[in-house]
Structure 1
Amino acid sequence: MLFDYNGSNSSFLQIRHLVLASNKLRAFPDFLRNQSILYYLDLSNNQIQGKIPNWILSLKSLNSLDLSGNSLASLEAPLPNSTSTLSSLDLHSNKLQGEVPNWILSLKSLNSLDLSGNSLASLEAPLPNSTSALSSLDLHSNKLQGEVPNWILSLKSLNSLDLSGNSLASLEAPLPNSTSALSSLDLHSNKLQGEVPNWILSLKSLNSLDLSGNSLASLEAPLPNSTSALSSLDLHSNKLQGEVPNWIFSLKSLNSLDLSGNSLASLEAPLPNSTSALSSLDLRSNKLQGIHSSYSFLQLGHLGLASNKLTTFPNFLRNQSYLTYLDISDNQIQGQIPNWIWSFKLQELNLSCNSLESLEAPLHNSTYVLSKVDLHSNQLQGHFPFFLNTITFTGPFQNPYAMQVVLFLICPIIP
């Protein structure tokens, strides 16, 4: 505890930094009312109940206040003409319910607000001409329902917004000529359905968008000449069907795309002269039967194709120059493992749970950087290939070939 002695009142300590977390406090200590230089206050993980008093938000010098992990149920409205110097307010894991009052979003200096893990059901619209300094707003794991209001996406300074783990069903279209400073938007585990609107992919500053764990069925094509700043797009565990649209691979800044856990059956033929910035693509747990060789313009580092309906090794893989991780497990691939698959920069390869029978002889003078291969639950037979003698093979092993691998690693056989 750092403090200054207040010479004008020898019986009173003026504290700058006070941590009273994880005690058994049941109320706000009354001596806090008279703190004039208190900058940091942590009362988290106590047993404080009831209403958050307005005086604590208006302490003259208070910059950071942590009241998380209590049983607080409401916020007392500020007194007229009161001011607040708060920059960070953490109220997560309390018992707040009802409406998020608009005045809290408009506290003059408030930069970070965490209201996650409560029972808040709605957001009060801001007053006309009000402003907000908020950069980060976390409302995950509440009871928000209905529509995501457009005004929240347009808060002037808001950079990060987490609305995940609620029951939100739709997104209100932005107002004409409105702008957004959002860089990160998390809407995973809600009840969004229908089409992903094209405007959300084109928010000027949006870098990361998580729409996973919803019931979204399709993607609206972008408007002509629209641009996207998205680097990461997560749509896993939705209800996407049919074709993966070709335009998604050509989003100029998109580096990571997760479409796993849907019902996608194919990839639309790529646009002429396509280029892509993608380095990570996850298509696991879909219904893909193949990927055309014309997708060789994708130069990936990480590719997940597990749990689809592939019957052969996708031909576009032959032209991958940077691939370090490849998972094609749990498909229906039969026959021989081609030798070209060992010649990538692959470090980890999973071919388990297929119907593979043999390995093609290695390419002449090939070098390998693989460190981990999973071949379990196939139908491999024959002799262990000595060119793989530095690789760790994973199990469980359910065929004679795999047992030979284990024996080789334990006691190498001299050819």
Structure 2
Amino acid sequence: MKTTLLSFLLCYCFIHLTVVVSAKCLQDQQSLLLQLKNNLTFAPQFSTKLKMWNENTPCCNWSGVTCDNEGNVIGLDLSGEEIFGGFDHSSSLFRLQYLQKLNLAYNNFNSSIPSGFSKLVMLNYLNLSYSSIAGNIPMEISKLTRLVTLDLSSFSNSKEQGPTIYNRNLPTFLQNLTSLRQLYLDGISIPTMGHKWGNALLPLRDLQELSMSRCDLSGPLDSSLTKLVNLSILILNGNNFSSSVPETFANSLSNLTHLTYLDLSYNNINGEIPLSLFTLPSLEEIYLSFNRLSGSLQLDNVLKLKSLTALDLSHNNISIHENVVNVDFSSIPKFRYLSLASCNLNILPNLLINQSTLFHLDLSNNKIQGEIPNWIWKLQDLIFLNFSHNFITSLEGPFQSLISKLEFLDLHNNKLQGSIPSFPKHALFLDYSNNNFSAFPQDIGSSLSYMNFLSFSNNNIHGSIPDYLCNASQ
């Protein structure tokens, strides 16, 4: 999801920066574009650009087309046009020699990338993401030495049908692309060991954003990555590193002073989280969930990251301990997303108090006991709250201020008793199952208006079912 969002934002920014510089349009440029349109197969009902192109309007006024002052086409955005079948090597697209930006994301080519792209030597932005590209990524793309942004991301998880860059080709593919600042290769099969793919990236000294999720990469993480000192975003989730974090990598992490976003989730990484991670001054988001990380982590290490807004350590084998005394709430990170599921927590961390910007909190599958204090219901931005699979016995009231924005509340598999509390006003998902509740709430008003899922199963509820449940409808 995160990597898809990045590609979407790239497309969005490109679309909204596309402006018509001049109404003048050179005849040869217009002819090439009309020829391109006529040779493409696309779905007119989904098209917002191609279907509007016609010879009666100057091409520099067409949606998706950007021209320079001389009337040359320098930008082309055909993202989301439902183009089928791709391009052949002789396509008129490859004769648009002044093109600097080309966005073909979110189409349905179902074909390999033609080598003709190497003719577009002026390109500094190329986006072919999520367009059902297949086969080997052509080495000819490495001739586009002006590229600043390259996005070849794919939805494919199939090694047979999805796009591939073979191990021996990766250094050749990257070695000339030294101007790259953003590189997105999500879903491209690159079955390569850690030191090999890490070293292949070394020529990209200006790289700021690197996303290689679901790339069949192997571990261990190599210290060569930390030589990319300009990195601000590093996304490597969904690979199979199957090793601990090497000491050489941990010791050189301090080089990445500009790193704001790190995603190493779903990677089978084992061993302890290196404490050097919590010395990176710019870190805002950390995702390490669904690994095999172990050992203890003191929360005061996390609090050193003053800019941190998102932390996900869920579903590992770590034990988190809060050893913070006399917390200065004004100095702790302001979280928006916090997921500490399956982290062996025994208590509700005090750092959560006054987290006014928090919208996602997952503390499920821990060992939290006793009462949930009522300040949790006062976190007014909270949308997602999961306390399932704990040992919670009660919820401190009053519930009049039960979070107005809360859409997802999961309290199943606890030891809650007494009457079920009032429902959040805009809840979509409520799970109170597998507790010891004995009674339905008296009055829920219009709280069922938005509900998609509601469960009271396996409780000790007695008496009649209230009318508001009998009358509930979709």
Name the TM-score, length of structure 1 as normaliser. Answer: 0.71
**In the alignment, what sits opposite 1:401?**
461
* 86 and 131 in structure 1: CA distance in 2 versus 1, 3 angstrom threshold: closer
The one-character-per-residue Cα deviations of 1:104-153 (angstroms, maximum 9, x if unpaired) are 4x52255334264511123216898x663334322111221212425637
Letter in structure 1 aligned against 2:124: S
Of 189, 193, 206, the residue aligned with 1:146 is 193
Mapped contact 1:380–1:401 kept (Cα < 8 A): yes
Letter in structure 1 aligned against 2:323: A
Q: Indicate whether 1:15 and 2:52 are aligned.
A: no
Within 2, Cα distance between the matches of 1:270 and 1:126?
A: 49
Mapped contact 1:249–1:276 kept (Cα < 8 A): yes
Name the TM-score, length of structure 2 as normaliser. Answer: 0.64
Matches within 5 A, 1:85-104: 85-92=122-129, 93-97=132-136, 103-104=142-143
Letter in structure 1 aligned against 2:385: D
> Aligned with 2:201: secondary structure?
helix
**In the alignment, what sits opposite 2:324?**
270
Mapped contact 2:214–2:236 kept (Cα < 8 A): yes
**In the alignment, what sits opposite 2:171?**
124
Mapped contact 1:207–1:232 kept (Cα < 8 A): yes
The one-character-per-residue Cα deviations of 1:260-312 (angstroms, maximum 9, x if unpaired) are 2223333352377562222321123x152512655456726231112334343
The one-character-per-residue Cα deviations of 1:312-352 (angstroms, maximum 9, x if unpaired) are 3456x747853524634432435433325765646434323
* 94 and 140 in structure 1: CA distance in 2 versus 1, 3 angstrom threshold: same
* 119 and 299 in structure 1: CA distance in 2 versus 1, 3 angstrom threshold: same
Letter in structure 2 aligned against 1:134: L
Matches within 5 A, 1:266-305: 266-270=320-324, 273=327, 275-284=332-341, 286-291=342-347, 294-296=350-352, 299=355, 301=358, 302-305=360-363
Within 2, Cα distance between the matches of 1:330 and 1:187?
A: 29
**In the alignment, what sits opposite 2:182?**
136
Within 2, Cα distance between the matches of 1:173 and 1:124?
A: 17
Within 2, Cα distance between the matches of 1:229 and 1:379?
A: 45
Mapped contact 1:137–1:161 kept (Cα < 8 A): yes
Letter in structure 1 aligned against 2:146: K
Within 1, Cα distance between the matches of 2:165 and 2:286?
A: 27
- Work out which of the two has the higher radius of gyration on C-alpha atoms and give 1 or 2: 1
Letter in structure 2 aligned against 1:72: S
- The structure where helix makes up a greater share of residues is 2
> Aligned with 1:240: secondary structure?
strand
> Aligned with 1:381: secondary structure?
strand
Of 103, 111, 132, the residue aligned with 1:71 is 111
Q: What's the % identity of the aligned pairs?
A: 19
Letter in structure 2 aligned against 1:119: T
Matches within 5 A, 1:87-236: 87-92=124-129, 93-97=132-136, 103-104=142-143, 107-114=145-152, 116=154, 117-122=162-167, 123-124=170-171, 132-144=178-190, 145-147=192-194, 148-149=197-198, 152=201, 155-170=204-219, 171-174=221-224, 179-180=229-230, 182-192=231-241, 193-195=243-245, 197-198=249-250, 199-200=252-253, 203-217=256-270, 218-222=272-276, 226-236=279-289
Within 2, Cα distance between the matches of 1:77 and 1:48?
A: 10
Aligned length: 378
**Where in structure 1 are there 5+ consecutive unaligned residues?**
25-35, 363-367
Mapped contact 1:207–1:230 kept (Cα < 8 A): yes
Of 336, 339, 342, the residue aligned with 2:397 is 339
- The structure where strand makes up a greater share of residues is 1
**Where in structure 2 are there 5+ consecutive unaligned residues?**
1-22, 44-70, 155-161
> Aligned with 1:264: secondary structure?
strand
Within 2, Cα distance between the matches of 1:319 and 1:334?
A: 14
Q: CA deviation at 1:189?
A: 0.4
Q: CA deviation at 1:99?
A: 7.8
Within 2, Cα distance between the matches of 1:242 and 1:188?
A: 21
Within 2, Cα distance between the matches of 1:374 and 1:267?
A: 28
Q: CA deviation at 1:244?
A: 3.4
Larger mean Cα displacement after TM superposition, 399-408 or 247-256: 399-408
Letter in structure 1 aligned against 2:32: I
Letter in structure 2 aligned against 1:15: L
